[in-house]
Amino acid sequence: MKYPFLIAISLILISGCADNTQATDDKQEITKETVVTTSPTPEPSTSPPEQSETTPNLSLFNKIEDYDPNSNEIELKVNEKKVKTAFSQHDPYPFGFYLPSDMKRVDFEDGIEFHYGKSIFKINYWADSYATNVKQEAIFQPYSEYVGTDIYENEIKKNTAYQVYFAFEKNQIKYVMQWNYFEKDRDTVIPLFTAIATEMRYIPE
């Protein structure tokens, strides 16, 4: 009699295992479906679209204000630091700039230049040659006045020289602003010259 009893027990266990296997398979299938159908939907971005670095949407000079003789000294903000400056006219042109004490005015027969170490800041009357065969640098392309850059490689001295040009107009006369500097001075000169250019003043006759 005990053998029929054991046979019955075996049949029950086999049936239970089959049911468990089927349940496991069903659970795996449900889980798989759940993962697919409940994947999170990306939320729409609330950030403004990024602007291209090469899109000219800024003005280097903003509005060129008239020079106020009662405002001969101001502070420029250069790399988050305040720099004391004094006004100097850029002869023979009707413009002037606020310059730090370590920037020198150098006079020539046909005009002047402002020197900062070996770097040069100056303006001149516009000529089409300033826009001939120039290269474009991404760092300046956001400025609408940017014309281009002449880049000179000196293999002997192992350095690179830059001449950067910005065109602007006042009273229907077109001018060019030129920055000259070497590669090793870029990180210092560009922020300083940018701050100086932004505060350019017009000197009425």
Residues in the chain: 205
Residue 15: which domain range? 1-36
84 and 28 part of one domain: no
Residues 97 and 180 in one domain: yes
The answer as to whether 102 is a domain residue is yes
Instruction: For residue 159, tell me if it sits in a domain.
Output: yes
123-154 per-position pLDDT tens digit: 999 999 999 999 999 999 999 999 999 999 98
Same structural domain, 82 and 173: yes
Q: CA-to-CA distance for 116 and 181, rounded, in angstroms?
A: 9
Domain annotation covers residue 143: yes
Q: Do 18 and 119 share a domain, yes or no?
A: no
Q: Are residues 21 and 95 in the same domain?
A: no
Is 131 in the same domain as 182?
yes
- Domain shared by 81 and 151, yes or no: yes
Per-residue pLDDT averaged across 19-39, rounded? 39
The rounded radius of gyration (Å) of the Cα atoms in the chain is 36
| 146-185 b/e (C-beta count within 10 Å ≥ 16 → b) | bbbbbeeeeeeeeeeebbbbbbbeeeeeebbbbbbbbeeb
Q: How many domains does the chain have?
A: 2
Tell me, yes or no, whether 50 lies in a domain.
no
Contact, 119 vs 100, CB < 8 A? no
Together in a domain, 18 and 72: no
Task: Answer with the residue of higher pLDDT: 114 or 62.
Answer: 114
8 A C-beta contact, residue 128 and residue 147: no
Kindly report which listed range (12-26, 120-134, 150-164) carries the lowest average pLDDT score.
12-26
Which residue reads 């700039």 in tokens? 97
The verdict on residue 22 lying in a domain is yes
List the structure tokens of 119.
């770097």
| pLDDT level of residue 24 (50, 70, 90 thresholds) | very low
What is the Cα–Cα distance from 199 to 184, expressed in whole angstroms?
A: 25
Lowest average pLDDT, out of 48-57, 87-96, 101-110, goes to 48-57
pTM beyond 0.75: the answer is: no
Residues 112 and 194 in one domain: yes
Same domain, yes or no: 154 and 92: yes
Residue 145 lies in a domain: yes
Q: Using CA atoms, how far apart are residues 202 and 192, in angstroms rounded to an integer?
A: 20
| Contact status, residue 174 vs residue 157, Cβ threshold 8 Å | no
Q: Tell me: do 100 and 189 sit in the same domain.
A: yes
Q: Which CATH number characterizes residue 79's domain? A: 2.60.120
Query: For 30-59, what is each residue's pLDDT tens digit?
Result: 333 333 333 343 343 333 333 344 566 899
pLDDT for residue 186 is more than 60: yes
Neighbours of 84 (CB within 10 A): 11
SS3 per-residue string spanning 73-95: EEEEEECCEEEEEEEEECCCCCE
